[in-house]
Homo-oligomer: A and B are copies of this chain.
Amino acid sequence: MEANLDDLNPQVFGYVMDRLLEQGALDAFGVPVQMKKNRPGTLLTVLCNAADAERLTRLIFSETTTLGVRRREEQRHCLSRSWETVHTVWGDVRIKVASMNGSITNYAPEYEDCRRIAAEHQIPLKTVMQASIQQYLCGQETLHQGHGDTES
């Protein structure tokens, strides 16, 4: 669902994004757009399940100044996701592992776990994220080696 906002106080936009996510939107984001009469507007885009469209449309109308909301249906291809936990020296971090046809295509540390550790231990976030990935990859190597052993 999309709505063009050309007369909304940007402070309200930040709030609306939070409310939409809190109310079940799968995702919400803003695109800076150039509108008529030299207005630097924002195109609000909301991704949601069809069942929530009605309710979230009402939320967009209540919270923003838009007079119209556009809706369209799209197909969504998602990867299979699974979770693994790695143990870093500062604490545990969950890794989100995505697969396509049985092969792992992406692995990424859970942001909130890394953020929490970074803030608590006064360590750069990028360091926590990299260390978590490293733990995951080392674990993967051990796993493959383990399989290798059992095969020999």
**Which A residues have a C-beta under 8 Å from some C-beta of B?**
4-18, 21, 27-43, 45, 47, 57-58, 61-79, 81, 96, 98, 100, 105-106, 108, 111, 115, 118, 124-126, 129-130, 133-134, 137
A84, chain B: closest CB distance, angstroms: 15
Known: A9-B126, A29-B34, A124-B62. A14 touches B39 (CB 8 A): yes
Given contacts A11-B7, A36-B38, contact A68 B63 (CB under 8 A): no
* A40 in contact with B32 (CB, 8 Å): yes
Q: With contacts A27-B36, A29-B36, A40-B34 known, is A76 near B67, CB below 8 A? A: no
A9 touches B11 (CB 8 A): no
Nearest residue in B to A75 (C-beta to C-beta)? B71
The 6 closest A-B pairs by CB, nearest first: A32-B32, A14-B38, A10-B39, A30-B34, A68-B78, A71-B75
Cα(A9)–Cα(B4), bound, Å: 13
Contact B62 A39 (CB under 8 A): no
Q: Is the pair A14, B29 in contact by a Cβ cutoff of 8 Å?
A: no
CA of A15 to CA of B40 in the docked complex: distance in angstroms? 11
A-B CB contact pairs (8 Å), 23 listed: A6-B11, A7-B108, A9-B9, A11-B111, A11-B129, A12-B126, A12-B129, A13-B40, A27-B36, A29-B43, A30-B34, A31-B33, A31-B34, A34-B42, A37-B111, A38-B38, A57-B77, A58-B100, A61-B98, A61-B106, A67-B98, A70-B74, A106-B126
